[in-house]
């Protein structure tokens, strides 16, 4: 059964919104981008380095901030953005009934990886930023991760509902 056109059109909006958010954050110059990240990592760093009686130099704090706190936060954000994008694309494609579910999953992952590549290419033209194939890989892993989590949750929900319908008995 095909859904009305307006509902199918609305199903595409989350994917467009996530793509827009990714684009806007990628268009930020390096300093603005770092300040956004520091809003998250700053309190964490203060907590970590505020504990204990060891005096940390500015250089030590900067080293730990860059490699042990800021970088993992940024890379995790990359993965989560692209996980969200891939899930949103899958939902839109399912609502539009554009083929078998396995094909939809593959297309959504490929589309998301392609978007990650174009995003990194776009960053080559942003002051202070650079494109990175490592980031494309991380973003792509986010797409795979998002797809896996989405279908694991759906499978769990279907099994949960099936168990309820069978009075809690396993099939």
Q: What is the pLDDT of residue 14?
A: 97
For the stretch 6-44, pLDDT in tens is 999 999 999 999 999 999 989 988 766 666 666 666 676
Asked whether residue 116 is assigned to any structural domain, the reply reads yes
3-class secondary structure, 55:
coil
Asked whether residue 85 is assigned to any structural domain, the reply reads yes
Within 10 Å of residue 143's Cβ, how many Cβ atoms? 27
Q: What is the pLDDT of residue 20?
A: 97
**pTM of the complete model:** 0.78
Q: What is the pLDDT of residue 72?
A: 81
Asked whether residue 54 is assigned to any structural domain, the reply reads no
Q: What is the pLDDT of residue 95?
A: 93
> What count of Cα atoms within 13 Å lies in the side-chain half-sphere of residue 46?
5
For the stretch 100-156, pLDDT in tens is 999 999 999 999 999 999 999 999 999 988 999 999 999 999 999 999 999 999 888
Encoding tokens for residue 109? Answer: 């992952």
Encoding tokens for residue 30? Answer: 């390096």
Asked whether residue 157 is assigned to any structural domain, the reply reads yes
Asked whether residue 65 is assigned to any structural domain, the reply reads no
Distance (Å) of CA 134 to CA 117, 138, 141 = 10, 6, 11
Asked whether residue 35 is assigned to any structural domain, the reply reads no
d(CA 154, CA 27): 34
User: For the chain, what is the domain count?
Assistant: 1
Encoding tokens for residue 65? Answer: 């901030």
What distance, in Å, lies between the first and last C-alpha atoms of the chain?
Answer: 28
Asked whether residue 89 is assigned to any structural domain, the reply reads yes
Burial of 161 (0-12, 13-18, 19+ CB in 10 A): exposed
Tell whether the model's pLDDT for residue 168 goes beyond 70: no
Region of 168 please: left (phi>0), alpha (psi -120 to 50) or beta: left
Asked whether residue 125 is assigned to any structural domain, the reply reads yes
Tell whether the model's pLDDT for residue 166 goes beyond 70: no
* Span 49-62, average pLDDT: 59
Domain span including residue 121: 5-27+79-165
Q: What is the pLDDT of residue 24?
A: 93
């Amino acid at each position: 059964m095909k859904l009305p056109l307006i509902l199918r059109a609305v199903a595409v909006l989350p994917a467009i919104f996530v793509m827009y958010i990714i684009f806007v954050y990628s268009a930020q110059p390096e300093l603005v981008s770092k300040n956004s990240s520091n809003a998250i990592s700053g309190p964490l760093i203060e907590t970590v380095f505020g504990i204990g009686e060891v005096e940390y130099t500015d250089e030590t704090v900067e080293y730990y901030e860059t490699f042990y706190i800021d970088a993992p936060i940024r890379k995790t954000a990359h993965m989560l953005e692209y996980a969200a994008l891939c899930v949103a694309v899958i939902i839109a494609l399912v609502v539009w009934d554009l083929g078998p579910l396995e094909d939809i999953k593959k297309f959504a992952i490929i589309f998301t990886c392609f978007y990650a590549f174009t995003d990194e290419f776009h960053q080559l033209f942003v002051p202070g930023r650079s494109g990175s194939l490592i980031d494309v890989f991380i973003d792509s892993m986010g797409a795979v991760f998002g797809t896996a989590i989405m279908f694991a949750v759906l499978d769990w929900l279907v099994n949960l509902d099936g168990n309820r319908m069978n009075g809690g008995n396993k099939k």
